[in-house]
Amino acid sequence: MITFKVDKILNNSLVLSKNSDNNEVILMGKGIGFNAKVGDLLDAEQIEKCFVLQQITDIQGYLNLIESLPDDYIELTRFLLDYANKTLQTTFRETLFFTLLDHLNYAIERYYSGVVIQNRLLYEVKSFYPKEFEVAKYGITYINQRLNISLPEEEAGNIAFHLVNGQSHQQTMQHTLLSVKMLKDIFNIIQFNFAIRIDKQSLNYSRFLTHMQFFIQRIFEQKQLQSDNDFVFQQVIRQYPDEFKCANIIKKYLINQLNITISNEEILYLILHIIRIVH
């Protein structure tokens, strides 16, 4: 069984140590730092999570932050991430704990200072990432009850951004914000071109939204679908010229936004989803 030696106690739940490769790590566990002393040995059974500091940017800043915060903030962040893991059934980047803790601290500071920052993408977050938003909303309600404060719904939108961003190991917060903006613009392009209002309660909307989320993720990760066989593509564009025209407008929009090329295979799937959502 691996044992770790306590190098520094950050708070009741976090201690600084080194792993078998002599890399600095932060060990997380309920009460792991309580009554501990520098030099004490910890069993692996006491440890819930191990963060390798080499993987975290500006770790000294986060260490200073952790030492300055009340234990409640650490526990609330842990609770929120545990709840998100179970509810969304996904894995998050390890760094999400630190960025979420930092954001929570900043949100509470703003609350006590009476500063309200409007989340202009709140409606889009609710529409495009409803599961993450509901998790974040539950988390905000729990935090408000525990700390006897009243963080607004906008903060649920901000936390949802972090949850979306934390699920990709390559995506940055800038990409997450851009993704939401592009989803909004793409839906507006479709609605304008066909003079319709998309039913956001329909199964086809849900399917299209999921497809677009993965499509944008593939673009950011440079993993577009490719095919050497253009036969089906040519058939579809002949049979559905209006949907092809709309897909081309979206293609030009994405090229302008990201300065990239879009493969015919991706355009084909985009057309097929436009057909379903329009008709």
Q: What is the pLDDT of residues 204-231, one digit of tens each?
A: 787 888 788 878 888 887 888 887 778 8
Q: DSSP of the chain, one letter per residue? A: --EEE-SEE-SSSEEEEE-TTS-EEEEE-TTTTTT--TT-EEEGGG-SEEEEGGGSTTHHHHHHHHHHS-HHHHHHHHHHHHHHHHHHT----TTHHHHHHHHHHHHHHHHHHT-----TTHHHHHHH-HHHHHHHHHHHHHHHHHHT----HHHHHHHHHHHHHHT-SS--HHHHHHHHHHHHHHHHHHHHHHT----TTSHHHHHHHHHHHHHHHHHHTT-----S--HHHHHHHHH-HHHHHHHHHHHHHHHHHH-----HHHHHHHHHHHHHHH-
pLDDT band at 2 (very low <50, low <70, confident <90, very high): low
- Tens of pLDDT, residue by residue over 127-139, are 888 999 999 999 9
Domains and CATH numbers, the chain: 3-56 (2.30.24.10), 71-166 (1.10.1790.10), 182-278 (1.10.1790.10)
Output the pTM of the full model. 0.72
pLDDT band at 148 (very low <50, low <70, confident <90, very high): very high
With a cut of 90, say whether residue 256 has pLDDT above it: yes
